Structure 1
Amino acid sequence: MPTLVLTRPIGQSHRLSELLKQQLPELNQIQLPLLSIVPNQDDVEGMKLNELIKKADFAIFISPNAVECGMRLLGADWPTHLPIAVVGGGSAEALDRRGINSAHGYQISFPKDSRNWDSEGLWAEINSVPVSWSGKQILFLKGAGGRDWLGQQFLDQGATIHEVVTYRRLPLSVESPSWRQVQKLEANTTACIINSSEALRHLVDVLDQSLPWGPSWFNSVTIICSHQRIAQAAKEAGFKQVECCLSGEEHLLVATQTWFNQLKQLK
């Protein structure tokens, strides 16, 4: 049976899963949360964040997780005077769910074209109007690691950056029953959606240790990636069937439909 493996953290594939059930009801779905999100609940970090937003000139939430965990860590309303930037539409939606939007007086920047939902796209967006970053205090709310390129652009322009780690990612244990479920799949009728480079690295590490079924995944499973950088990393890791699409549930849905239709044509 054709199977799609969804690898986002628990609860974050719900909308895509529902869309797939509506459009491809005959497609089997399996959840394999390669990473778990652990919010930072350190009171000291919370006080640090509260102090930093008083002096920051600009703040960047790196992901929807950074929005949810960052606001929880802050424990207060976000000040309307501090402009915000986010990488993509998912983070903008996470802000909107908390009432942080232009209708409530907030200034929020993000690339409107989903083809540009990445660090490069955000950098182009916030510099679409000439601006001097020299001497500015930039606040990054993020997970542990990631987005070094974007921070470096501000540093190169003479800004000072401050980072608050709002969450950590924990890899799925190799002892998890989820892996036993996955290894029973027929690799040539399975696709796996990968949304982050870190999740890809963990998958590769587990497959490298998994005999005899690991090698069949590298050779036959279709990896659907939501960014060209992830797709390139998947190819370099040894996956033979790699597809790339834009970020966002709608694009992932179309990519999955295309794979599924091609699979039916081969039968």
Structure 2
Amino acid sequence: MANLVLTRPVGQSMRLAELLGQRVPDLHLIHLPLLSIVPNEKLEDSQKLKKLVEQTDLAIFVSPNAIECGMRLLQTAWPKSVAIAVVGGGSAEALDRREITIANGYHVYFPKNPANWDSEGLWRELNQVESDWRGKKILFLRGAGGREWLSEQFLSHGAQITQFETYRRVPLSKEAAAWQSLEKASPGQSACLLTSSEAVHHFAHYLKEQKDWGSDWLTLAKIICSHPRIVESAKNEGFKKVELCSPGDDNLVFASQNWFNSLAN
């Protein structure tokens, strides 16, 4: 049986799983949420965020998680006077669900081409709108870490940067029952979708501790990554069959389908 391991946090793989069920129904899906998202719910941070937003020229949400947790923490409507930038389609969809769209009078920027859904693509997009960042106040809403390269670009061009944590990521417990499905599956008949370097590190660390079966997953399983930096992380951790695909659920499904079809050849 061919297995596909979905490694996103609980809830974030739902649409992806639905698409896979429609297009590759013979794939057996294994849900392994390598990271869990814990929202920042501190009252003092909510008050602090409201003040920061009022003083901001551009807010950058680094992920759908940052949007959902950030808006919940803000506890009020996003001001239309403050522009928003996001990296890719998943974050744009999260804004759409909250009706934060250009059609509704908001200023929203993100790369339109899925091939450019990364920090570099967003930087190019923003520089088509603004050529002088000196003195601009940029607010990054994120988890613990993320988009360091993009922050450095703004700083090098004279902008003022504020980093604000709207959530934190918690690695999947080593005692979690979800690992048992992995242990029972055949790595040579399995592929794993990885969309986070942090998830890659946690995954590899756990496998290296499993002396009886973990090494086979490092050497035999197909690792499909949605960005070159994630590919680099996977290779550095010792995964042997690493493949790059473009970001976005449709591209992940396409890559999974290609892998599945290759098993029959």
TM more than 0.5: yes
CA distance in 2, matches of 1:227, 1:112: 17
Residue 196 of structure 2 corresponds to which residue in structure 1?
Answer: 196
Residue 182 of structure 1 corresponds to which residue in structure 2?
Answer: 182
Residue 119 of structure 1 corresponds to which residue in structure 2?
Answer: 119
CA distance in 2, matches of 1:61, 1:79: 15
Amino acid aligned to 2:83: P
TM norm structure 1: 0.98
Aligned identity (percent) is 55
CA distance in 2, matches of 1:198, 1:124: 25
Residue 71 of structure 1 corresponds to which residue in structure 2?
Answer: 71
Structure 1 segment 154-173 matched on structure 2, within 5 A: 154-173=154-173
Structure 1 segment 40-59 matched on structure 2, within 5 A: 40-59=40-59
Contact 1:231 1:244 in 2 (8 A): yes
CA distance in 2, matches of 1:257, 1:9: 22
Deviations along 1:66-91, whole A, 9 cap, x unmatched? 00000000000000001110011111
**Does 2:114 match 1:90?**
no
Cα deviation for residue 129 of structure 1 reads 3.9
CA distance in 2, matches of 1:128, 1:263: 44
C-alpha RMSD over aligned residues: 0.8
CA distance in 2, matches of 1:22, 1:59: 36
Please state whether the residue corresponding to 2:193 is helix, strand or coil: strand
Contact 1:45 1:164 in 2 (8 A): no
Residue 254 of structure 2 corresponds to which residue in structure 1?
Answer: 254
Residue 150 of structure 1 corresponds to which residue in structure 2?
Answer: 150
The range that moved more, 68-77 or 123-132, is 123-132
Residue 136 of structure 2 corresponds to which residue in structure 1?
Answer: 136
The range that moved more, 25-34 or 127-136, is 127-136
Contact 1:223 1:242 in 2 (8 A): yes
Amino acid aligned to 1:152: E
Residue 26 of structure 1 corresponds to which residue in structure 2?
Answer: 26
Residue 12 of structure 2 corresponds to which residue in structure 1?
Answer: 12
TM norm structure 2: 0.98
Contact 1:235 1:242 in 2 (8 A): yes
Amino acid aligned to 1:16: L
CA distance in 2, matches of 1:140, 1:25: 39
CA distance in 2, matches of 1:239, 1:144: 25
Structure 1, unaligned runs of 5 or more = none
The range that moved more, 128-137 or 255-264, is 128-137
Q: Which runs of 4+ in 1 moved over 2 A?
A: none
CA distance in 1, matches of 2:29, 2:194: 14
Cα deviation for residue 239 of structure 1 reads 1.0
Deviations along 1:48-74, whole A, 9 cap, x unmatched? 110011111111111000000000000
Cα deviation for residue 257 of structure 1 reads 0.7
Cα deviation for residue 130 of structure 1 reads 4.7
Cα deviation for residue 146 of structure 1 reads 1.2
Residue 35 of structure 1 corresponds to which residue in structure 2?
Answer: 35
**Does 2:240 match 1:237?**
no
Please state whether the residue corresponding to 2:81 is helix, strand or coil: coil
Cα deviation for residue 36 of structure 1 reads 0.2
CA distance in 2, matches of 1:129, 1:109: 9
CA distance in 1, matches of 2:39, 2:175: 23
CA distance in 2, matches of 1:77, 1:130: 25
Residue 224 of structure 1 corresponds to which residue in structure 2?
Answer: 224
Cα deviation for residue 121 of structure 1 reads 0.6
